[in-house]
Amino acid sequence: MNKLTEKKPRRFGTITLNISFLSAIMAVCAGLLLGLLVLLCTNASQAFPAFKTILFTPITGGRRQLGQVLYFATPLICTGLSVGFAFKTGLFNIGASGQFTLGAYAAIVTGVYCGFFGGVHWVVCLAFAALAGALWGSIPGLLKAYYNVNEVITSIMLNYTSMYIVNYLIVKTCYNQLKNQSANVLESALIPKFGLNRLFPGSSVGGGIIIAVLAAIAIYVLLEKTTFGYELKAVGLSRDAAKYAGINEKRGIVLSMAISGALSGLGGGLVYLAGAGKNFNVVEVLLMEGMDGISVALLGLSHPIGVLFAGLFFGWITVGGFNMQLYSFAPEIVDVISSTIIYFAACSLMFRGIIESMRGGKKQGAAVATATPAPTAPPDTAPAADSEAKEKGGAL
């Protein structure tokens, strides 16, 4: 084979992963810089100390602050995995908040009344939480698969439906009237700390972060290493092509939304069984952990490992934002920074295009710099030209 035409195999997966990682880092940096600009416009004299506090409080605050980062990141990882899993399979699960709410209620009511399970009580509670989220998530999946109803609309409506249903059920089943919140779960329903309380003393972190990390690994294996995951992604890319290939596309859509809902429901269980003194308040407000999961999935580019690190990042800046009042800033400034980061994360395709164009420019420059031999005529071109000239001369 001619050496000029010989091409070496390209590692497209590695290149794509690197570009995705760089685009996410660029989104974070751009969001942080814009957040710093907001701080400067609000109070220039305190902007840099406050910005430093946001970035370094989890380090300077000791192990307790690091434990709080893990605590706040736990539900975000689960809801981020939920939204990201649906993205990977071509669906937009914007109903993570409703699934999170149903999962939280299932975990609480099981934790209050089912103490007879003994040592595995907390496991049963989490299982019911995931089951409740899966059942609630399968509703928009069924409507999408069999009636082609847009899952965005149905999942948004189900968010509010679940909020009112759970508020009603808590009042009727496990209500603390004095505090307008759910009753305390039994001690056996609390997730074990697995030694994290000694590693991060004084923090609220528990075994939930370990379960969230295991869930991220499980979703990665499911999507990237199994035939079932390949089928789900194929349905997401093209329902008609998947059906032509013999894949049951309706089953794939329903199962995808069910698994996505189960992850959100699991997150709800992890929050209210963490043993941090958190109870479900009976108020007509959507739980923001589900909405924040959309942001985490966008920043993590819907990749399970990326979602894991994105959840940790949001937990990091959340802990740092608690000290904003020390510098005459409202704690909500962290929400502004988070929003700007998500805005740039949503523009990650633009960043990826910039990186790819830069890579393409370098490759083109290298190709021009490489010397190439001048094209030569085929061997039979000269004799053919001579014979044609002789024929013309004879005709003249």
Tokens coding 38: 């907001």
The arithmetic mean of pLDDT across residues 239-248, rounded, is 88
Query: Is 163 contained in some domain?
Result: yes
What confidence score (pLDDT) does residue 57 get?
85
Letter for the amino acid at 112?
V
How are the residues of the chain apportioned to helix, strand and coil, as percentages rounded to the nearest 5?
Answer: 75, 0, 25
Residue 78 CB coordination number (10 Å): 35
Q: Positive or negative, the Cα torsion across 278, 282, 283, 286?
A: positive
CATH number (domain holding residue 267): 1.10.3470
pLDDT band at 2 (very low <50, low <70, confident <90, very high): very low
The mean pLDDT of the chain is 84
Q: What is the mean pLDDT of residues 17-43?
A: 80
The token pair at 309 is: 């690190």
Residues whose CB falls within 8 Å of the CB of residue 289, separated by 6 or more in sequence, listed in order: 75, 76, 79, 97, 100, 267, 268, 271
Per-position DSSP letters for 190-236, written without gaps between them: SPP-TTHHHHSTTS---THHHHHHHHHHHHHHHHHH-HHHHHHHHHH
In a domain? residue 27: yes
DSSP code, position 120: G
- Residue given tokens 């079932």 in the structure block: 228
Please check whether residue 4 lies inside any domain of the structure: no
Give the residue with greater pLDDT, 269 vs 245: 269
Query: Which residues constitute the domain of residue 164?
Result: 13-357
Instruction: Assess whether pLDDT exceeds 90 at residue 73.
Output: yes
Residue 349 lies in a domain: yes
Residue 5 has a pLDDT of 44
- Residue 100 inside a domain? The answer is yes
**Structural domain count of the chain:** 1
335 is a domain residue: yes
Is the separation of the CB atoms in 216 and 76 below 8 Å? no
State the DSSP code for 118.
G
Phi first, then psi, for residue 281 (nearest 5°) are -85, 135
pLDDT tens, position by position, 50-61: 888 888 888 888
The CA distances from residue 184 to 187, 193, 222, 281, 286, in Å, are 9, 18, 35, 12, 21
266 within a domain of the structure (yes/no): yes
**First CA to last CA across the chain, in angstroms?**
46
SS3 176: strand
Residue with tokens 């439906």: 161
Higher per-residue pLDDT: 323 or 263: 263
Provide the pLDDT for residue 351.
59
Q: In degrees rounded to 5, what are phi and psi of residue 175? A: -115, 135
> With bands split at pLDDT 50, 70 and 90, how would you rate the model's confidence at 213?
very high
Report pLDDT for 355. Answer: 62
